[in-house]
Structure 1
């Protein structure tokens, strides 16, 4: 037992805190540990790495289209081509929306998120990114995901590196982590049978990282997966991070049944305590190798996101103006402003700090 902090941690939790590497069996055992013990250990590491500082970013989501042919069973947002509710924003309209949000609130990042729309080619994305950069050079583009990269590569008969290079040349700053879900193919076939497999998702991420394009990692839990699958997912992410050091952050969120096809099989979401468990274990697995863990307020609510800051998270995420995917499930979302986030963080006795797209602190609100 180390004595640099008073604790009554179990052997697996103590191993996670003091030893660098865990295997999938260790990680699964962590997931089964006592929640408050996990929180205590995760909080210890988070304060060790970050002190009392909690970061956030003023940002928005640009849902440029809801047309998607992947038809994930967990998604209530997508519409097939030709559907009366289908839409695709023109480049001009998309830029106008981002500029309007920036004028009203002031943002540092736009997350460009949509679907696999067969009518869109790489020139659409290049035109969109170039127009955003020309109009709003101070706003970073955190855009697309490995799913779109794979689609564009197949559509244009290009390599992943060629697609990524063209997107970066047009203005994409970092690659989003969408489509990760659970990196176990049995699970992926059950919830999204037409989506790329786990190896492809990881391969595209590794390609981006080796080109100097950083990204974030994600996890969507609470559907048909097991704790063993959670452990495999975290293990595969940290193994890639050790090879490339290209992941800036990790975000987990629960499956929100709502109006999706998968709701027939999974009618209720998991409890908020599950998010705390996932966040805490992520901190114990990732430690400071993948340093930034978001608290994920979008599907779990502000109070739980606050609590996650005491269970291993060090980042509150963003303001997420204009997000449309989660409301499509029927879940109501609050509108967050910079001041709201600052007050939520201060309410825990922690210090808010505004960051940029690369998690560099811009301003501390003491």
Structure 2
């Protein structure tokens, strides 16, 4: 550990409370100093262990009426490319992936499809639990919870309770993007606002339903907006301790409406800075920071493990949202993740949905 840090990095390491302005200042610090400080904290909390989970993404529908300007995946109802899987077809896909690769988690992601009601999700979750009790359901996001609550005139609590009763284990962190309403109005004008997203997360946490936090950067937001986003997440985490992990990824312009204004994705260096700052802000209060290989590629994801990330994320078999942007999608196996972690002389460990280690590959 260096003898001397810059004042803002030293403050981040030793003081729990950082203001949005402090976080903004951190973003402007020297990248290598941020990386070494984040690495210092990560090794202090986790030793040399890096976790990952064998999982798949179930994109059960691409029909969505929210029409986010950054999304290339959605199709409006009636579009010739629109699809929705029946609960039976969705179950078949998950069972096929589990047979081939062996998974511990299915991440269920789709869109706001007006044809689907809460009974669809209850059927799907119950079918998955009946056939694959060893696979955790990490599903939906505050956006679907808000939609289902309004559709069925239920409270968020009732909606979450019905989904949990039918098998949902944890709530996904989608729809967070940037938790600043000025930005949300530009990139996703029909999406729930910041307070609603945070309120649904807080409701879930208080019910004992854990979730993850996310961030999509690199579009129309400023550094000040990025700082505000991290601040809102850590403030909620201090109240509830309900976030299991944090994942940041960059906006991928290809094929989406927002591409006209944001032509190129930000460089990989931005992800390293984002992960390092997140570690310095979250410390061990929100302990697990994912590497985010999906949009940034494997080399950079590997590098984030030396910049504050302690979790490689998942294998993500079957993911369809990123390929819709035109980006080529890798098939990542358990063995390739283990190899990449070992290449850094770190210790790979397979985890479950709740970040508990189930197997160490030493």
Q: What is the TM-score with the length of structure 1 in the denominator?
A: 0.99
Aligned residue for 1:237, secondary structure, equals helix
Match of 2:80 in 1: 84
Match of 1:18 in 2: 14
- Of the candidates 156, 164, 170, which is equivalent to residue 160 of structure 2? 164
Count residues with an aligned counterpart.
362
Match of 1:295 in 2: 291
Match of 2:193 in 1: 197
Match of 1:354 in 2: 350
CA distance in 2, matches of 1:193, 1:335: 33
**Residues 1:265 and 2:265 aligned together:** no
**Residues 1:151 and 2:133 aligned together:** no
- Of the candidates 273, 276, 284, which is equivalent to residue 277 of structure 1? 273
Match of 1:134 in 2: 130
Shift of 1:49: 0.1
Match of 2:324 in 1: 328
- Of the candidates 231, 236, 248, which is equivalent to residue 232 of structure 2? 236
CA distance in 2, matches of 1:16, 1:194: 36
Shift of 1:8: 3.2
1:187-226 to structure 2, matched below 5 A, reads 187-226=183-222
CA distance in 2, matches of 1:347, 1:301: 16
**Residues 1:248 and 2:240 aligned together:** no
Q: For residues 148-197 of structure 1, what are the alpha-carbon distances to aligned partners after superposition, in whole Å with 9 as ceiling and x for unaligned?
A: 00000000000000000000000000000000000000000000000000
Aligned residue for 1:353, secondary structure, equals strand
Aligned residue for 2:312, secondary structure, equals strand
- Of the candidates 53, 59, 62, which is equivalent to residue 58 of structure 2? 62
CA distance in 2, matches of 1:192, 1:20: 33
- Of the candidates 89, 94, 103, which is equivalent to residue 90 of structure 2? 94
CA RMSD of aligned residues (A): 0.4
**Residues 1:319 and 2:315 aligned together:** yes
**Residues 1:308 and 2:310 aligned together:** no
Structure 1 runs of 4+ aligned residues shifted over 4 Å read none
Match of 1:27 in 2: 23
Aligned residue for 1:298, secondary structure, equals helix
Match of 2:42 in 1: 46
CA distance in 2, matches of 1:86, 1:347: 42
CA distance in 2, matches of 1:360, 1:141: 16
Q: For residues 268-321 of structure 1, what are the alpha-carbon distances to aligned partners after superposition, in whole Å with 9 as ceiling and x for unaligned?
A: 000000000000000000000000000000000000000000000000000000
